[in-house]
Each structure stands twice: as C-alpha cells, then as structure tokens.
Amino acid sequence: MISVSLISLIAYFLCVPLTIIMILWLYDDEKRSFKKVVPTQKTMCECDICLYHFTADKEDKFVRCPQCGNLMERKSAKH
Ligand SMILES: [Zn+2]
C-alpha cells in the first residue's frame, strides 16, 4: 500500500485548486487584452454652454447639444 503523509495530502489539496484558479485567471487576462476597437464615424463634442459631452457625426458642421439644445459649430473635445 502507498502511504501518503498528511502534510503532502494537504499540500496537494491546496495546490491543485490554486493552480486551476491561476490558469483561469491568466486565460481570462489574455482574453481581455484582445478587445476589439470598433471604428466609428462619430467624434466627441463638448457643449459651449452646459459643458455636456456627447458624440456627433464627423461630417456634421453644426451639432445640437442633447442636454440644452444649443446649436453650435462642431469641434472636437480636447480632453
Ligand atoms: Zn449644452
């Protein structure tokens, strides 16, 4: 019969779940780094009056703020 000491049994039951958790963690981390960047025709705008940030089409010369309704010339937000 094979004799297994209590210490090695405890070590085994501690190491196996920890190894599984580490593998899953690394796999999840790897999966997260491959996030796709979706190209869009929209750009960020900032309202001159209420400083609300919103997206607008790149082609539009004039945009209307959805927060306060202010019509303004489109310019990209610098921050
Ligand atoms: Zn506004």
Domain check: are 31 and 46 in the same one? no
Residue 79 within a domain = no
Q: Is the pLDDT of residue 3 over 90?
A: no
Domain membership of residue 78 (yes or no) is: no
| Residue 56 to residue 76: CA distance in whole angstroms | 9
Q: Which domain holds residue 24?
A: 1-35
Number of domains in the chain: 2
Judge whether residue 78 has pLDDT over 60. Answer: no
CB proximity list for 65: less than 8 A, separation 6 or greater? 47, 49, 50, 52, 54, 71, 72
Rounded average pLDDT over 19-30? 90
Mean pLDDT of the chain, nearest integer: 85
The CA 37 to ligand 1 mean position distance, Å, reads 28
pTM: 0.45
Q: Does 48 fall in a domain?
A: yes
Does any domain span residue 54?
A: yes
- Residue range 34-57: mean pLDDT, rounded: 86
The answer to the question of residue 6 being in a domain is yes
Least Cα distance to 56 among 77, 37, 38 occurs for 77
Ligand 1 mean position, distance from CA 78 (Å): 17
What is the rounded average pLDDT of the residues 57-71? Answer: 90
In the structure encoding, which two tokens stand for residue 33, read together? 């780094």
53 CA from centroid of ligand 1 (Å): 8
My answer on whether 1 and 31 are in the same domain is: yes
